[in-house]
Amino acid sequence: MPRVWFHVDVNSAYLSWSAVKALRAGGPGTLDLRTVPAAVGGDEEKRHGVVLAKSLPAKKYGIRTGESLFAARQKCPGLKVVPPDFDWYVRCSKAMFAIFNDFSPHIEQYSIDEAFLDMTGAEEQFGPPVQAAAALRGRIRGELGFTVNVGIAPNRLLAKMASDFAKPDRTHTLYPPEIPQKMWPLPVGALFGVGPSAAQRLNAMGLQTIGDLAAADPNALERALGARGLVYWDYANGRETEPLNHTAVKDNSYGNSVTTARDLRTPAEADATLLALCESVAARLRADGKTARVVTVQLVDAAFRRKSHQKTLPGPTDSTDLLYRTAQELMRAIWPALGVRLLGVTAEKTGTEHFEQLDFFIDTEKTQKLEKLDRTADALRQKFGEKAVVRAKLLTPEARAPGALSAAKERDKHRKK
């Protein structure tokens, strides 16, 4: 049976979710952020003074995700900027994935706002793929108040490419016979996995479009770009020879990740960011009365290659210090030569156990003091705000450099059922 994959992607996720929350809180007459030049932006006093998401009207002014809010306001002085609300974003994401579960038992989460659904064999229940996609979009729009694009294809690669066609609230197919018409005319930089640096190198070889890349000599690509050149050539021809990086939807997992403003060259440069991530994850565990047994660290290097490593702890924990020390060990074990552009930490196999496995090599009294400090800090932050207590490491020069302080909430992937 031919495979059928959906790639579902929320349209301007953070902006859309912020708009839905504002509309629900404000009632009739409230401004819909999606209809005006608007952006979700972080703290302008730190590196997070950047555009995290933008509305379609803002895009018409040339505003780009990742640029500074200062630059965005230069392009559009009347830009409406709202702060991110990651807890709300997690709730919206979970509600969307609950709907996915009604359409497919096989879901692969790609990020907080996108996923792959294996819809092979679902026609008897939902009708042809385009009809099923319309039903899925309609439920999300009607029940949750935001819109998604759905890409339909025989593999994940083409489905993801299709979902990025015209927006918002659209369904697009990308079957092999449609590749020459729909995909090959696109700029080579629009191909999945081809970053700005790779696009420049391909352009320098005279390859301007995905079609040019598909017709290129694979041996020449391999000589110029190594093994990655052959992957790009396969992708340009619609072949998913290297699986897309994805994360299966997992029950009871808590995680955060961040894309840094610049590549981090050494583990020491990433330590402050790692601590911020671990502190956020551990705080969520404690808030929900949960502990975790497995810690996973994920890195994406400058060439968009993804690595991950995990470790099972001697016993369940919700300690920021233990998560951080474990994550440090894992990060250093897989640190890539090209440096890191994305860093993530996940605590998995969670439960409600709070017993501690005795270890002769661990100072139990110190551990208990650290746990007490964690809970005291949680209480102070809940009462007086996130900045009421800040770890000393997050006040160092390295933490103030791009890619460090408050990194934990840039890209939230907290999931639990």
Residues annotated catalytic, as ranges: 114
Q: What is the 3-state secondary structure (H, E, C) of the chain?
A: CCCCEEEEEECCHHHHHHHHHHHHHHCCCCCCHHHCCEEEECCCCCCCCEEEEECHHHHCCCCCCCCEHHHHHHHCCCCEEECCCHHHHHHHHHHHHHHHCCCCCCEEEEECCEEEEECCCCHHHHCCHHHHHHHHHHHHHHHHCCCEEEEEECCHHHHHHHHCCCCCCCEEECCHHHHHHHCCCCEHHHCCCCCHHHHHHHHHCCCCEHHHHHCCCHHHHHHHHCHHHHHHHHHHCCCCCCCCCCEECCCCEEEEEEEEEEEECCHHHHHHHHHHHHHHHHHHHHHCCCEEEEEEEEEEECCCCEEEEEEEEEEEECCHHHHHHHHHHHHHHCCCCCCEEEEEEEEECCECCCCCCCCCCCCHHHHHHHHHHHHHHHHHHHHHCHHHCCCHHHHCHHHHCCCCCCHHHCEECCECC
Give 339's strand partners: none
